Every structure is written in C-alpha cells, then in structure tokens.
Amino acid sequence: MRFYEQVMGVYFDDLDAFQVLHNARYLLLFERTIGSFWRQLGWGSLLAPADNPDQYHVVRANHIVYDRPVRGVGEVRVRIWVEQLGRTSLTFGMRILPMDSDEPYCTGSRVIVRVDPETFKPTEWTQALRGRLKAITLEAPPHGGPVA
C-alpha cells in the first residue's frame, strides 16, 4: 500500500451558494480520512499514553490548493500518504479525487508534531509508529503524490 484512501460523501449542506463544495469542507474531508486511517492503525477515540504515546500530536500546518471545484452532491475519494516522517514531525500528502479518475479536485499537505502529553514540547515518534507507517511513506515522493 502506497497510500490510504477512503470514499466520502458530499452532501447538500456541504455546498456553498454556487452548489460547489465549500472551501472549508475540503479540510474536513482530509481530517475525517486521517482519523479513519488512525483508527485502522488501532487508535481509538480515547487518549491513552501508556498504550499509545504517539497519539499525542498537534497540527502545525495545513496547506491546500484548490485545483477545480467539486460540484453538487455525490462521492469523492480522499487519498492520504506520508510524504515525510521526521524526528518529531510527520507530513501527510493529501488529494481529493473524483470516483472515476486521478485528476485532483484538491491537493494539500498537513504537518503534525508529536508532543509530550505533560509538557506539550515536541518529542520523537516511536519506532513502533515508524514501522507501521512504512507502508504508506514515500521514499521519493513524485510531484502531486502517488497515483493508483
């Protein structure tokens, strides 16, 4: 697996006055897909530092480029992958794609930083997490991210 992908619905209340997916909803689709990915790795909704110290992380940055609009209701594919895994940071690459092609609606990235649960200072990712992320970490990411 070079990436993680999830099909997400686009609903009427996600649209703006022009019947286009509202700009803030793209980030929400990324957020939900990353959450689904973490759940697939076995992370629940409760923070448990003894069971999973890597759960403690904060978002440092989001970057989104709107390539073309998602029009109307329907479904999209949301694809994420690990572009870079640093000592304390992790960068996800992200794309929102139509169901029938790899021509993106939106591309982006999110940087998260693992923090100590008591001090909230950056701390290193565990080797256990590094091993689990290896399957979706690109060694030399191509421009625009992985394709199917």
pLDDT in tens, 89-120: 999 999 999 999 999 999 999 999 999 989 99
Q: Is 137 left (phi over 0), alpha (psi -120 to 50) or beta?
A: beta
Residue range(s) defining the domain that contains residue 12: 4-135
How many Å apart are CA 27 and CA 14, to the nearest integer? 12
Q: What percent of the chain has pLDDT over 90?
A: 70
Total number of domains in the chain: 1
Tokens of 100: 């029938």
Helices marked H in 23-113: 23-40
The pLDDT tens digits of the residues spanning 1-26 come to 588 999 999 999 999 999 999 999 99
CATH of the domain at 99: 3.10.129.10
In a domain, 145, yes or no: no
In a domain, 140, yes or no: no
Tokens of 124: 């290193």
Predicted pLDDT at 141: 45
Long-range CB contacts (within 8 A, 24+) of 44-51: 47/117, 49/117
Please state, as a whole number, how many other Cβ atoms lie within 10 Å of the Cβ of residue 136. Answer: 18
In a domain, 106, yes or no: yes
The pLDDT tens digits of the residues spanning 28-67 come to 999 999 999 988 887 766 677 677 888 899 999 999 999 9
In a domain, 26, yes or no: yes
In a domain, 102, yes or no: yes
